[in-house]
Chains A and B, each alone.
Chain A
Amino acid sequence: MDFAAFCATSRVVIVAGKGGVGKTTATATFAVAAARAGLSVLIVEVEGKSGLTAAFGLEPLTYDEIDLAPNIRARTLTPDEALVDYLEDHGMRRVARRLASTGVLDVTATAVPGMRDILVLGKIKQLEQARAADLILVDAPAAGHAVSFLMSPAGLLDAVSMGPIRKQAEDVVAMLRDPARAQVMLVTLPEETPVNELVDTAYALEDRVGIQLGPVVVNACIAAPPDESSVPVDAPDLDALRAAIAFTTERHRLAQSQINRLAERLALPQIHLPLLSSVAVGRTEIDTLADAFTAEVEAW
């Protein structure tokens, strides 16, 4: 598949996955790959610090956009700021700041299920409508929460029968259900528990949110080790070499069996990103992963 066409499938891609599976890495990788393909990318972080900027050697994100790399901008979205924006946009500028600072948002947000999520999703919708970038990548909250995050607009429609916030929820639902506007890209590791949770999340998103599911990114796929027979029996470190090969063979086998299991249980295309031996992800690693990401998609 042509990579630029792939990147243009949906204007908003929500990257979701269980904590620790490399969601932020996948987001950064997709961003770099898409930017290389000529798209302008905006990364939106919705749950505090994620280490995204650290990979690019920058300070943590703020509500104001920053340039992360050529063609890649990034920002955070917090419910408080989104509420102030929202009120200002709806002619309530005068009370907006006070509403946030007096804790009324706390009360309101508590009174209305998913209010915070709606404010954030509403702002994302606004960015999408304003064509803030060719591709908006949302680094979503961790897995279980991702489902409630995306379900919040539908939940709110049940709870609130009138008012502008209801309209906001309706607009967000419309965006989430339109594959040309939004899809979810799930991220996992080739391990048993992350695979199980990914499958559960996928079904929940499809059934309860009705959002299009894009490809699954499988992070940290271990490469097959060299064959043990390639090691001459008189090699000085024979035992260590054999042990390293045996260890990697077993890990590779397990990863493959999980990848196969995922394919059996979930009929979605997979993008396999290689396991890197570095302890931390920096710009070099992201570039390597972006190469792999692009190559995987182009091979479809």
Chain B
Amino acid sequence: MVSAIEGLVDDRAVVICCGTGGVGKTTTAAAIALEAARRGRRACVVTIDPARRLANALGLDALSDTPSEISAALWDPHHRSTGSLAALMLDPKRTFDGLVTRYAADDEQANRILQNRFYRNISGALGGTQEYMAMEKLHELHTEGGFDIVVVDTPPTRHALDFVDAPQRLLRLFDNRLFRIMMMPTRASMRVAGVALQTLLRTMSRVVGREVVDDVIAFFRAFEGMEAGFRERAAHVQALIADPETAFVLVTTPRRDAVDEADYFARRLVELSLDVDALIVNRVHPSFTDVAPAELTARAIGPAEPAYRLLIDLESVATREQAEVARVLERVPGTPMATVPLLASDVHDLASLGHIGEHLFAGPSVD
């Protein structure tokens, strides 16, 4: 007998933790990877923007594009596990550079792109780049990293689920008619580029200056021939997201705004024919009594009144939180759920991560 969430940790190759900012996604992802390692799997957690002390606990002091192994002495002092635990803090720019180097015909082409100013902006700032690179890194670790399970924390983006279609968005850039024309060799582009394009390019130059437009044109020329490789890669990444080996874990807190976001995520995942495989609710207030609120109110007299008011307040928070949680569950009926109580302090070491794991993996059992 294992809990449904334990099942994910045992069976899946990829776990994607999604949810809005501030709900404990990073911590959840790390706790899942830790549990997988303890259960004997070779696990890696990819985090986007960890809190500093958690990053330190995971041995992550800098952005990187290669996973670093966390010494087993830290998480498995009694040598009970044959698994391993690694972590990496995503560096989207280096991941992108790696892709360019991989698909360039030669060093010369790679360098021409890597040094282009337009490229440097794309790789650092293009909307969706971080999301896409998270998925790209996930794909790389999954196929080449030698891990049994890769757990990824998604960027705390408002644009929920950007990461799912991030590969497509990058490709859209190349599909843009303007880009296709720009990518043609000079002569041809002069012939094809009609008056309309010339006008647009002139307008761009007037707004941002000629040199910027030149950079853009130079980038697309340099990029020639690599597009197919990128396209193919994006298709692989997309396929991995939809693969049955991939699990989606929806993370939320029981506050209404977080639940609204979670509900939106759940709906979008369903629309994309992706299943929510587990729901994790962090920071849940405890309930202290089974006595009905009306009864408590009746007893709130005399010297104990302030204490009763506090208890009534806390109970009403707990009750309303339960209603909020029920709202997400309705959206994804039958999804295994785990709740983690509001903890006394922040999670910033492996011991407290393990403590989170106890809540996550002690849920209702299934055969």
Chain B residues with CB under 8 A of A103: 176, 178
Chain B residues with CB under 8 A of A18: 21-22
B310 and A245 contact, CB distance less than 8 A: yes
8 Å CB interface, A1-41 against B: 18-21
B23 within 8 A of A: yes
B51 and A193 contact, CB distance less than 8 A: yes
The distance from the CB of B357 to the nearest CB of chain A, in whole angstroms, is: 19
B348 and chain A: residue at smallest CB distance: A192
The distance from the CB of A82 to the nearest CB of chain B, in whole angstroms, is: 12
The distance from the CB of B330 to the nearest CB of chain A, in whole angstroms, is: 16
Q: Mark A65-97, 1 if CB is under 8 A from B, else 0.
A: 000000000000000000000110010100100
B209 and chain A: residue at smallest CB distance: A163
B225 within 8 A of A: no
A19 contacts which of B20, B177, B207, B345 (Cβ < 8 Å)? B20
B126 within 8 A of A: yes
Chain A residues with CB under 8 A of B206: 92, 163-164
Chain B residues with CB under 8 A of A166: 209
Chain A residues with CB under 8 A of B320: 278-279
The distance from the CB of B285 to the nearest CB of chain A, in whole angstroms, is: 9
B203 and chain A: residue at smallest CB distance: A95
B355 within 8 A of A: no
A247 and B316 in contact (CB under 8 A), knowing A103-B176, A111-B118, A111-B216? no
Q: Which of A175-183, A232-240, A259-267 contacts B (4 or more CB under 8 A)?
A: A232-240
Number of A positions contacting B (CB below 8 A):
67
Chain B residues with CB under 8 A of A86: 207
A68 CA / B347 CA spacing, docked (Å)? 39
Q: Mark B304-329, 1 if CB is under 8 A from A, else 0.
A: 10111011011011001101100000
A115 CA / B207 CA spacing, docked (Å)? 11
A57 within 8 A of B: no
A241 and B200 contact, CB distance less than 8 A: no
A102 and B178 contact, CB distance less than 8 A: yes
Chain A residues with CB under 8 A of B323: 279
B125 and A114 contact, CB distance less than 8 A: yes
A162 CA / B280 CA spacing, docked (Å)? 51
A164 and chain B: residue at smallest CB distance: B207
Q: Mark A95-118, 1 if CB is under 8 A from B, else 0.
A: 100110011101110111111000
Chain A residues with CB under 8 A of B199: 95
A254 and B344 contact, CB distance less than 8 A: yes
Q: Which of A127-135, A209-217, A223-231, A291-299 contacts B (4 or more CB under 8 A)?
A: A223-231
The distance from the CB of A105 to the nearest CB of chain B, in whole angstroms, is: 9
A197 within 8 A of B: yes
A159 and B204 in contact (CB under 8 A), knowing A103-B178, A196-B51, A235-B304? no
A48 within 8 A of B: yes
B117 within 8 A of A: yes
The distance from the CB of A144 to the nearest CB of chain B, in whole angstroms, is: 7
A166 CA / B209 CA spacing, docked (Å)? 9
B159 within 8 A of A: yes
A90 CA / B203 CA spacing, docked (Å)? 11
8 Å CB interface, A176-224 against B: 191-194, 196-197
Interface centre among A104, A107, A241 (most CB of B within 10 A): A107
A243 within 8 A of B: yes
A197 CA / B54 CA spacing, docked (Å)? 13
A111 and B213 contact, CB distance less than 8 A: yes
Q: Mark A118-162, 1 if CB is under 8 A from B, else 0.
A: 000000000000000000000000101000100000000001111
B209 and A106 contact, CB distance less than 8 A: no
A4 CA / B206 CA spacing, docked (Å)? 43
B211 contacts which of A51, A161, A164, A231 (Cβ < 8 Å)? A161
A256 within 8 A of B: no
A205 CA / B355 CA spacing, docked (Å)? 36
B212 contacts which of A49, A87, A108, A280 (Cβ < 8 Å)? A108
The 12 listed contacts between A and B (C-beta, < 8 Å) are: A19-B21, A20-B258, A92-B203, A103-B178, A108-B207, A110-B216, A111-B118, A113-B124, A148-B125, A193-B346, A232-B303, A240-B289
Which B residues lie at the A interface, using CB under 8 A? 20-23, 49, 51-53, 117-118, 121-122, 124-126, 156, 158-159, 173, 176-179, 199-200, 203-209, 211-213, 215-216, 254-258, 260, 286, 288-289, 291, 296, 299, 302-304, 306-308, 310-311, 313-314, 316-317, 320-321, 323-324, 342, 344-346, 348
Q: Give 5 nearest A-B pairs by CB, closest first.
A: A20-B22, A19-B21, A226-B306, A240-B289, A280-B256
